[in-house]
Amino acid sequence: MTPRVVIIGAGIVGANLADELTTRGWTDVTVLDQGPLPLTGGSTSHAPGLVFQTTGSKTMTAFATYTVEKLLGLDDGTTADGWCFNQVGGLEVATTPERLADLHRKQGWAISRGVPAAVVDAAECARLHPLLDPDQVLGGLHTPTDGLAKAARAVVALARRAESRGAVFRGSVRVTGIAQSGGRVTGVETADGETVPADIVVSCAGFWGRELGKLVGMRVPLLPLAHQYARTTQVEQLVGRNGADARSAGAPHGEFVEARLPILRHQDADLYYREHNDCLGIGSYAHRPMPVSISELPEVGDGEVGERTQPSMLPFTEEDFARQWEQSQQLLPGLQRSKIEHGFNGVFSFTPDGGPLIGESPDVAGFWVAEAVWVTHSSGVARSVAQLLVDGRSELDLHGCDVNRFDEVETTDAYVDETSQQNFVEIYDVLHPLQPKLSPRGIRTSPFHDRQRELGAFFLESHAWERPHWYEANAALAKDMPPQWRAPSRDAWSAMFHSPVVAVEAWKTRTAVAMYDMTPLTRLEVSGPGACAFLEGLTTGKMDKSVGAVTYTLMLDEAGGVRSDLTVARLGEQLFQVGANSHLDLDHLRRALPDDHSVAVRDITGGTCCIGVWGPLARDLVQPLSGEDFSHEGLKYFRAMSAHIAGIPVTAMRLSYVGELGWEIYTSAEYGRKLWDVLYEAGRPLGVVAAGRAAFNSLRLEKGYRSWGADMSTEHNPYEAGLGFAVRPHTKGDFVGREAVEKIDPDAVTRRLTCLTVDDGRSVVLGHEAVLVDGEPAGYVTSAAYGYTLGTPIAYAWLPAGLPVGATVEIQYFDRRIRASVAAEPLFDPEMSRIRR
């Protein structure tokens, strides 16, 4: 007996999920939709189905690649027009040099993920897509495996396959409630008063997701927005090329295709194009964001079949399209003899960070969501959800997709509405990896914020926190900085959101002392009689140590993938403070809590603050302010103690992500500003500086410290990630992932997180670039920075194991190939002489 699953929504996501679950033998699946089947009136019903596979996210690309593969294989072959994917290729054109450069960057993402792609010149663009005026474009990115998904047909084919294995699809059934008992779902309630029993409910309700979430008190952070799609009248050049009368031996699927030209993106004008037989479809993101209120949508199913109103199709607002039509005629001159035949404003979902929403409600067990998913990613998302349900884990790293990745403030309607609209506006923009939101800003500030502003902090934003990236005040110190600390000048791209001041902050940290605001680091308190055993069961290290011990440890999943890396400080017999990576860690710990109430977990980030005081003079700064013993013996490396600093109660933890002597000094929020002032004043004679994230990131890479999410994730085991030292099964009992990691031979891994230094000593890369070995794509950069202490740019990259120290590789940076060498790590202070003294 497999669990009874009810899927809400028979769009491309729900249908794919029914297919993926039944393939895995979970056959008790019921799919309910408020609309009629198969065209329910949701976003899928009219989706033009362009599938461009490559984005900045490796996981999203993998989702898309699987969608292509799966839909290509979905042709049941019984009819000439049974195909579900028309692999016409994708072409993204550049009309500005910035865009052309960005397409080179994208080409690197593609090839590092096994998607063939090439940047081609204007003539080749016009050869691939003869409607293009080559004089309008500078070049383009051609991705031959992209194409058109026939989404509505795929829904039918997937439903048929799932039904053949036992799934049931029911149309015109509106879900109005979720039945629960003891914190678990037991079924769904319908508008007709029926209760359909369920052990697991998966909401695949698309842009209705927020409404469905409300039924269980879950905030689903998405915003429905309308997006314009228009169809032209007949385009002369297309007549006779496609459709039933175009019987070409080369037709990819049977004889009837609607399109042969590559799908086309003109991102500098926020436009995209596809053929519909001898007409062209045009999509526009150029207009103002048009948020949609669910209550104002037309009801499903009014009117005749064929012209039935679809709630996801709103009337076309012609005035919003006028300029885009002109731009289209300019790019594709053949359109000058055509008109807009009709159009609509179609509704689909946007989210605060552009990612989809996958995962289980934190409060109601068995209530899952898979929403804000494009057709492009639908099969991949469904596969991952099926893996989560059936196997307990997804092969792909989902941290950027998890519905629980947001802190509470990021799920409020005000935040979701504003950030999602901003994502609509920016959808085709060339975005720098560090580019911050302009708004909303200033939501979360540490108690040091006013002081940071006085010092000229340049802030970037993360999870609604303002985080100083560097401080302009330190520019005045540059004149005293020895020349070897000065970094070579950067190219324009890597110089964005960067300042030469960062060198000063790195120099001062390594030679004097610096203060780092660590407040935004997620801090959790785990307490209660069961706390120690609870943490033992979830981590790879020994937790049952003396009070005052701090442990760097990993949380693994069942397969040994790295779920997170944590610092765990035992502050009392039954009290632990956990330094975590994100809200996902809180979510994970909460789910794992024992039922007997012997453990409590809470997020204490908000009420507390932290300053990292690090550098060779850190002890000279802190000791005179305190009656407690901050000597090497008095508070050893990786130990914590309560202390007073100038009368302020603090917790000091002796550890340092930048690899220097010093402490993370925690206090509650109300003392924060005083603590900052006291330390800053006492540090003046020692040359203390406030230092920001940019120096922090550089120094931690010199020291070889990993950043979870960027450098490693659940896709990697600890040995591959260079974190085997934190796995200590001989010190403890059972823990999640133990069995899996014990089977791994640390010396036999096939890939490794590898430290590279750039040979020319000056080219700085930013992360996500492809890495080539012997000219072939072999991996990708995770994190990178200029290393000021060493005078070389550093990049960490996933690469095949076995590359010897000194081996040469190439990093593809835009259209350049930058030579780099495999280096022994850590690059800085491998003897730990800076920290242990």
638 binds, among ligand FAD, ligand THG, none (CB under 5 to 8 A by kind): ligand THG
41 binds, among ligand FAD, ligand THG, none (CB under 5 to 8 A by kind): ligand FAD
Residue of 154, 190, 186, 188 whose CA lies nearest to 173: 190
798 Cβ contact list (under 8 Å, min separation 6): 716, 751, 752, 753, 754, 779, 780, 782
Strand partners, 689: 514
Q: Three-state secondary structure along 554-587? A: EEECCCCCEEEEEEEEEEECCEEEEECCCHHHHH
* Residue 532 in the binding site for ligand FAD (CB under 6 A): no
User: Shortest approach of ligand THG to residue 581 CB, angstroms?
Assistant: 5
In whole angstroms, give the CA distance from residue 247 to residue 113: 35
User: Shortest approach of ligand FAD to residue 318 CB, angstroms?
Assistant: 16
In whole angstroms, give the CA distance from residue 203 to residue 505: 49
Residue of 12, 259, 279 whose CA lies nearest to 148: 259
Going from the C-alpha of 276 to that of each of 47, 465, 557, 686, 771, the distances in angstroms are: 12, 46, 46, 71, 39
Q: Which is nearer to ligand FAD, 174 or 486 (CB)?
A: 174
Our CA dihedral for 346, 348, 351, 354, rounded to 10 degrees, sits at -80
* Residue 90 in the binding site for ligand FAD (CB under 6 A): no
Q: How many residues bind ligand FAD (CB under 6 A)?
A: 39
Active site annotation includes 272: yes
| Token pair of 215 as six digits | 């039924």
Q: Which of 38, 42, 354, 355 binds ligand FAD (CB under 6 A)?
A: 42
Q: Which of 153, 227, 405, 716 binds ligand FAD (CB under 6 A)?
A: 227
Q: Which of 40, 237, 351, 789 binds ligand FAD (CB under 6 A)?
A: 40
705 binds, among ligand THG, ligand FAD, none (CB under 5 to 8 A by kind): ligand THG
Strand partners, 59: none
Q: Which of 48, 541, 704, 777 binds ligand FAD (CB under 6 A)?
A: 48
In whole angstroms, give the CA distance from residue 381 to residue 299: 28
**Cβ(809)–Cβ(757) below 8 Å:** no
Question: Which residues here bind ligand THG, judged by CB under 6 A?
Answer: 521, 552, 565-567, 579-581, 638, 655, 657, 664, 705
In whole angstroms, give the CA distance from residue 529 to residue 523: 20
Active site annotation includes 342: no
**DSSP 8-state code for residue 267:** G
Residue of 47, 20, 18, 21 whose CA lies nearest to 32: 18
699 Cβ contact list (under 8 Å, min separation 6): 506, 509, 510, 657, 658, 659, 660, 789, 828
* Residue 222 in the binding site for ligand FAD (CB under 6 A): no
497 binds, among ligand THG, ligand FAD, none (CB under 5 to 8 A by kind): none
701 binds, among ligand THG, ligand FAD, none (CB under 5 to 8 A by kind): none
10 Å Cβ neighbour count for 805? 11
Hey, which residues between 363 and 422 contact ligand FAD (CB under 6 A)?
371, 373-376
567 binds, among ligand FAD, ligand THG, none (CB under 5 to 8 A by kind): ligand THG
Q: Which is nearer to ligand FAD, 51 or 526 (CB)?
A: 51
* Residue 39 in the binding site for ligand FAD (CB under 6 A): no
* Residue 346 in the binding site for ligand FAD (CB under 6 A): yes
Catalytic site residue from 66, 229, 272, 516: 272
40 binds, among ligand FAD, ligand THG, none (CB under 5 to 8 A by kind): ligand FAD
In whole angstroms, give the CA distance from residue 606 to residue 446: 9
- The 282-301 contact track toward ligand FAD, x by CB under 6 A, reads -x------------------
3-state secondary structure of 189: strand
348 binds, among ligand THG, ligand FAD, none (CB under 5 to 8 A by kind): ligand FAD
Catalytic site residue from 33, 402, 407, 565: 565
Cα 223 to the chain's mean position, in Å? Answer: 18
In whole angstroms, give the CA distance from residue 162 to residue 27: 8
Strands 514-517 and 608-614: antiparallel
* Residue 355 in the binding site for ligand FAD (CB under 6 A): no
User: Shortest approach of ligand FAD to residue 653 CB, angstroms?
Assistant: 45
Q: Return the residue nearest ligand THG (CB atom).
A: 579
Residue 384 has φ and ψ, to the nearest 5°, of -65, -40
**Cβ(85)–Cβ(150) below 8 Å:** yes
In whole angstroms, give the CA distance from residue 547 to residue 641: 9
In whole angstroms, give the CA distance from residue 453 to residue 465: 14
- The 177-206 contact track toward ligand FAD, x by CB under 6 A, reads ---------------------------xxx
User: Shortest approach of ligand FAD to residue 392 CB, angstroms?
Assistant: 24
* Residue 229 in the binding site for ligand FAD (CB under 6 A): yes
Q: Which is nearer to ligand THG, 34 or 567 (CB)?
A: 567
**Segment interacting with ligand FAD, rule: CB under 6 A, options 127-135, 343-351, 443-451, 474-482:** 343-351
Catalytic site residue from 104, 129, 142, 227: 227
Active site annotation includes 637: no
Q: Which is nearer to ligand FAD, 12 or 818 (CB)?
A: 12
* Residue 359 in the binding site for ligand FAD (CB under 6 A): no
Q: Which is nearer to ligand THG, 186 or 581 (CB)?
A: 581
* Residue 579 in the binding site for ligand FAD (CB under 6 A): no
- Residues forming contacts to ligand FAD in the complex (CB under 6 A) are 8-14, 32-35, 40-44, 47-50, 174-175, 204-206, 208, 212, 227, 229, 283, 312, 346-348, 371, 373-376
User: Which residue numbers are catalytic?
Assistant: 227, 272, 565
